Amino acid sequence: MTSANVSYDVPVQPSALTQIRRTLFTTLRKLSRRPLSLVGLVIVLVFIFLAIFGPNIAPYRFDELIRGATRQPPSELYLFGTDRLGRDVFSRVLWGAREIIALPAIATALSVLFGATIGLFAGYFGGWIDEVISRFLDGLLAIPALVLALVMLGTIGPSSFGIVVVIVILYTPIVARVIRSATLNMRALGFIEAAKLRSESTAYILFREILPGVLPALVVESALRFSYAIFLTASLGFLGLGVQPPSPDWGRMVNEARETFAQTPWELWAPAAAIALLVIGVNLLSDGLRSIFRYEGQLV
């Protein structure tokens, strides 16, 4: 009696990178169907463009003093007017876009990287590992944001590096808590148990099986943290704890213009309007992402 060779077709699962790419493309397609979300995306892209090419567009350097042009109102020559020192406000806003975009973006990316990694490990392993990590995160979250910022920046000094460090410390625990919760929900699913039975490595399960599933929650949280990071960066600049002179900082520009607001309101409204518009754009985009992604990281 002979036995026939029987072959079984095992479906090939797409790679984690392919799943992530599909999720991002699906997200962009769905965003294009939501007018407000699309407006938010356009606003964010415009500000990113200004952050990259603003210095090339600006008619003056951010620290250039225009002789005989102090406190000039908005005009064809000076689009947003000039400040008390004779600096072109429009140019300073364009130059400052790089700081207000780059610092929150870098800090948010690091927060998401660290937070997602911590959350994945805590949610997957559970037990005492999860307990220790959760208590540590709770301790960080208990520290008031402004107190932490004052202590950190008072220790290392106001600087771009200090702002990034403060934001990373503040937002990493929040991202970790979100991803931990999403990982706990996925840990008991059938395909995760199947991967364990196949003796797949922990790294494979975390980054090949679980990460694509929690990606929607990670995308939404990233947009939300980016919005908060922009506002925090501007707030620290307003308090004098941000990027130091002569570099243009929108928050510090608002603070410097307060005393002369009655005489030269354009000094204040230009950077203030830029901050508000950027935050509104990111929030509209974040709301769109939240409406696209369901709870537990599922697409609507």
Is 39 a domain residue? no
> Over the chain (300 residues), what is each successive 10-residue block's mean pLDDT?
44 57 73 85 94 92 87 88 90 93 95 94 88 91 86 84 92 94 81 73 79 85 93 91 84 88 87 95 89 54
Is 24 a domain residue? no
In this structure, what are the phi and psi dihedrals at residue 62, rounded to the nearest 5 degrees? -65, -25
Is 205 a domain residue? yes
Q: Tell me how far apart the terminal alpha carbons of the chain are, to the nearest angstrom.
A: 55
Is 206 a domain residue? yes
User: Domain span at residue 276?
Assistant: 99-253+269-297
Query: Rounded to whole angstroms, how far apart are CA atoms 79 and 60?
Result: 12
Cβ–Cβ under 8 Å, residues 293 and 220:
yes
Query: Rounded to whole angstroms, how far apart are CA atoms 116 and 207?
Result: 11
Query: Rounded to whole angstroms, how far apart are CA atoms 137 and 135?
Result: 5
Q: What pLDDT does residue 11 have?
A: 45
3-state helix, strand, coil in the chain (%, to 5): 70, 0, 25
Is 19 a domain residue? no
Closest to 213 measured CA to CA, from 201, 205, 225, 221? 205
Is 12 a domain residue? no
Query: Rounded to whole angstroms, how far apart are CA atoms 238 and 43?
Result: 23
Structural domain tally of the chain?
A: 1
Q: What pLDDT does residue 297 have?
A: 44
- Which pTM value belongs to this model? 0.84
Tens digits of per-residue pLDDT, 17-40?
Answer: 666 677 677 777 777 788 888 899
Q: What pLDDT does residue 234 have?
A: 93
Quick one: tokens of 104?
A: 């929150």
Q: What pLDDT does residue 296 have?
A: 38
| SS3 at position 299 | strand
Is 127 a domain residue? yes
Q: What pLDDT does residue 107 have?
A: 96
Is 148 a domain residue? yes
For position 207, which CATH number holds? 1.10.3720.10
Q: What pLDDT does residue 2 have?
A: 46
188's torsion region: left (phi>0), alpha (psi -120 to 50) or beta? alpha
